[in-house]
Amino acid sequence: MANDIRAKLSYCPVSAQKVRLVIDLVRGRPAVEALDTLKFVNKGAAGPVRKLLASAVANAEENFGIDRNNLFVYQIVADEAPTRKWRRFGARGRFKPILKRASHVTVVLRERE
């Protein structure tokens, strides 16, 4: 069995809370099935997560020579990235803070034994 195949997406412009809703759908599934599932999920975070998973599968095939049908999603996590803070001025001299949240997503694939 080869080592863990890792891929990381940094500064995904979707909050970690919203990404976790998507990655919970694919954790523990075969990689091919996970890619098919993400294709039809109607969430904004599904696109970047699918692209990341496809990259990890391509890395496994190209660098380690592992068949994509033998891979499964061993671990996938979404952590918070730094928050960009903006402000919009409101009435009476006040300002309204706007928090642009981002996330770091890491996926680990393993080969079925």
Place of tokens 């960009």: 84
Q: Which three-class secondary structure state does DSSP give residue 59?
A: helix
How do the domains of the chain map onto residue ranges? 5-111
Q: Which amino acid is at 82?
A: P
pTM: predicted TM-score of the whole model, two decimal places:
0.89
pLDDT at 17: 97
pLDDT less than 70: residues of the chain: 1-2
pLDDT at 90: 87
pLDDT at 29: 95
CATH superfamily membership of 5-111: Ribosomal protein L22/L17 (3.90.470.10)
- Secondary structure E strands in 1-113: 5-12, 71-80, 84-89, 95-100, 103-111
34-53 confidence digits (pLDDT tens): 999 999 999 999 999 999 99
> Which DSSP category does 63 fall into?
I
pLDDT at 113: 83
